[in-house]
Amino acid sequence: MSISAGGPSAAGLATVVATNLKFRPTRAGVMVESMSHSEEVPDPAMPIYVKAARSIRVQSLHRAGGEAHPHYPGDLRIERLGKYLRLSARMTLDQYLRGVLTSEMPASYHHEALNCQALAARTYALNPRISHTPDHVNVCDSYLCCQYFAGLGGEIDPRIEKAIDSTSSQIIVFNDKPILALFSSNAGGHTESYQNCFSDPVTGRFPPEPISYLIGQPEGAYPGLKARVGSEEFLRYLFAAKKANNTGVCADLFSNKFAWSVNLSAAQLEAHLHHVLETLAHNSDTAPFVVPPARGKFGHIQGFEVVKRGVSGVAIELKIKTSSGDWLVKKELVIRKAFANPEARIARLNSARVFFDQSQDKLGLLSTVTVHGLGFGHGVGLQQTGAQGFANLGRNYREIIAHYFPGTAVATV
């Protein structure tokens, strides 16, 4: 493994060849240490390039669902970002897809579902929602921003390889351009429209302009449903169907991520919700979506009410009633984050397709809240478990893609 610096002031710096290297940020650059050599690379000499004939293991990183210390292809770029280091990996598109598919979907899934994931991941890599050009990369490795990439360690499952080969050079297009191929784990019976979950990535506007091929789609025929699709009664219908294991209701009901519940006592909510909302209200990314009452104070919690829903039933606006006035929380991910509760071991809710069962004590004060939810993730675009369900029903990947991205086409580039 060798390293070199590539910035305008890199001349005269040593090229280090070693098996184990350590990098740490300093005030003026990055210190590079090996068993026999150490040298500080100043900021003007950045970036640092690391090359190896084999994959490189990064011991200071841990990726959930992947290796304890992930491996990356042997072509890395390192630069200082304040007190942290930014690591970029250069690889072929197929290498990237191997890592994404391994991280995002079980290899045991039906080959048509894996084909769908390969198509969506390839397309998203060419047209991510948020541009990472300022970072000198195409995409990042976060599932909250782009798509999950947990490294490339060990052998790739042949079923993953088959999906990449079967869809080689294929992408999803609309008007001859790569689409925004969003996907998530489970929609809980109905997908959601783009404008009800996301902000405009450039202006931050919410809701953004709709995207014609990212509109909410049913995952089944909903036999016996009498309520309006998207209503709280619709969510309760789906929740009851899961409890009864009525898999004929929709394609994704088989998944253990389809329905879930969280029980919270008033004491747990009182202990954390005020602080969480204040944190969200002072964060530049989430502040526009947290509206305090006129007095600006948070009183005793009296209850929760979804005042606006999307086509799938996703909560777009949530009213939190308190003795000092009502707080309004908007947007799917912000609503999920509002329920962060370390005491209940909740980082955020699994989804925002929620309804509430609330109880009061003898004095009429809030006693407990049960948050019932459907799905896992934002629920826009391709749904991984839904694709599996449709594949098991006999649909091929082109038919499944057409369902989740109506009006698009699969093209070879």
Mean pLDDT in residue range 375-404: 98
More confident call, 12 vs 270: 270
Residue 412: the pLDDT is 96
Instruction: Give the Å distances, CA to CA, from 349 to 232, 316, 377.
Output: 17, 14, 9
Do 21 and 33 touch, CB atoms closer than 8 A?
A: yes
183's torsion region: left (phi>0), alpha (psi -120 to 50) or beta?
beta
pLDDT band at 255 (very low <50, low <70, confident <90, very high): very high
Residue 17: the pLDDT is 57
Q: Is the pLDDT of residue 18 over 60?
A: no
More confident call, 135 vs 347: 347
Q: Is the pLDDT of residue 78 over 50?
A: yes
pLDDT digits (tens, 9 = 90+) for 147-174: 888 888 778 999 999 999 999 999 999 9
Single out the residue of 230, 203, 208, 177 nearest to residue 405, CA to CA.
Answer: 177
Q: Residue 280 carries which side chain, given as an amino acid letter?
A: L
Residue showing tokens 């990535």 = 201
Residue 9: the pLDDT is 53
Residue 189: the pLDDT is 98
**63-72, 102-111, 188-197, 312-321: lowest mean pLDDT where?**
63-72
Q: Give CA–CA dist 187/209, Å, rounded.
A: 22
Residue 40: the pLDDT is 85
Mean pLDDT in residue range 346-359: 97
Strand-pair partners of 16: 3
| Average pLDDT of the residues of the chain | 91
pLDDT digits (tens, 9 = 90+) for 232-244: 999 999 999 999 9
| pLDDT over 70 percentage in the chain | 95
Q: Is the pLDDT of residue 11 over 60?
A: no
Angle between helices 111-126 and 397-404 in degrees, nearest 10 = 50
**70-74, 112-116, 143-147: lowest mean pLDDT where?**
143-147
**64-78, 170-184, 397-411: lowest mean pLDDT where?**
64-78
Residue 313: the pLDDT is 98
Single out the residue of 346, 340, 336, 352 nearest to residue 235, CA to CA.
Answer: 352
Residues 6+ apart with CB under 8 A from 63: 70, 103, 141, 150, 151
| DSSP track, 117-153 | HHHHHHHHHHS-SS--GGGTSS--S-TTTS-------
Domain ranges of the chain: 2-89, 93-182+381-412, 198-375
Q: Give CA–CA dist 60/303, Å, rounded.
A: 43
Residue 12: the pLDDT is 46
